[in-house]
Amino acid sequence: MNLLNAIQERRSVRSFNKETVPNETIERLLELALYAPNHKMTQPWRFVVLNREDQVEFFHFIQANKARKKGEEEPERKPLAEDAPSHIIAIVMNVNENDKLHRDDFAATGSLVQNFSLLAWEEEIGVVWKTPGLIHEPEFHEFLGVNEGEEVIGLLWIGYPEVVPEIKPRETLKVQYGLPSKS
């Protein structure tokens, strides 16, 4: 598969089969994804990789957190859904107090995610980038081992697709050449 095809054919996959993506494959794809453009080479990222066993605790944490907020009892642990991802990767980024550098770092990390997604797709591995509200909560940071001065910018669900979604149409390209007229 060439880059053009990978860009046009990549889909956000939300339903996975039971085959496990090898840890070595995940590490190789992350290593390659590190070649994202990164102003000042701050390389602000690190990754927390959860396998299916970890995901039982992960999803229980989410359900227990929701129950706590509603004043309900903590639910029992449930087995993983049949179409659960092989792994969930939490993308952890250093928080830069300089707003401009923080935006640069966020853009670089987004580029890294795109690199990872395209590289994974090339190997028939599906990815979806999720940004649920709980990624900003201190309890979630503690659960994942996120340190002071770091933030979670998203969760990548990865695995071999059970279902590949249809292509969604893109909006028409909007480009302005030159400065706007001042009339």
Residue 183: per-residue pLDDT = 72
Distances from the Cα of 129 to the Cαs of 10, 101, 107, 173, in angstroms? 13, 23, 15, 23
**Fold (topology level) of 19-64+86-163:** NADH Oxidase (3.40.109)
The annotation status of 130 as a binding-site residue, yes or no, is yes
Where do the structural domains in the chain lie, given as residue ranges? Answer: 19-64+86-163
Query: Global pTM?
Result: 0.94
Q: Maximum Cα–Cα distance for the chain, whole Å?
A: 66
145-155 tens-digit pLDDT = 999 999 999 99
The annotation status of 66 as a binding-site residue, yes or no, is no
22-70 tens-digit pLDDT = 999 999 999 999 999 998 999 999 999 999 999 999 999 999 999 999 9
The annotation status of 117 as a binding-site residue, yes or no, is no
The annotation status of 68 as a binding-site residue, yes or no, is no
The annotation status of 103 as a binding-site residue, yes or no, is no
